[in-house]
Amino acid sequence: MAEQGLLIVLSGPSGVGKGTVREHLFEHYNNDFDFSTSMTTRKKREGEIDGEDYFFRTKEEFEHYIKEGKLLEYANYVGNYYGTPIDYVNETLDSGRDVFLEIEVQGALKVKQRMPEGIFIFLSPPDLEELKTRIENRGTDGPEVIAQRMDKAVEELGLIKYYDYVVENDTVDRAARKIRSIIESEHLKVERNIERFSKIIEEMK
Say how far apart CA 123 and CA 16 lie, in whole Å.
7
Which of 147, 154, 170, 173 touches its own copies (CB under 8 A)?
154
Nearer to its own copies, 47 or 158 (CB): 158
- What does residue 73 show for φ and ψ, rounded to 5 degrees? -165, 160
Nearer to its own copies, 89 or 157 (CB): 157
Say how far apart CA 147 and CA 62 lie, in whole Å.
37
Stretch near its own copies under the rule CB under 8 A, chosen from 18-26, 27-35, 42-50, 195-203: 195-203
Say how far apart CA 105 and CA 9 lie, in whole Å.
10
Stretch near its own copies under the rule CB under 8 A, chosen from 1-9, 74-82, 99-107, 175-183: 175-183
Find all residues with CB under 8 Å of 81, minimum gap 6, and list them.
39, 40, 41, 59, 62, 63, 74, 75
Say how far apart CA 147 and CA 134 lie, in whole Å.
13
Stretch near its own copies under the rule CB under 8 A, chosen from 40-48, 67-75, 108-116, 151-159: 151-159
Nearer to its own copies, 91 or 184 (CB): 184
Tell me which residues touch its own copies (CB under 8 A): 122, 124, 128-129, 132, 150, 153-154, 157-158, 160-161, 163-167, 178, 180-182, 184-186, 188-190, 193-194, 197, 200-201, 203-205
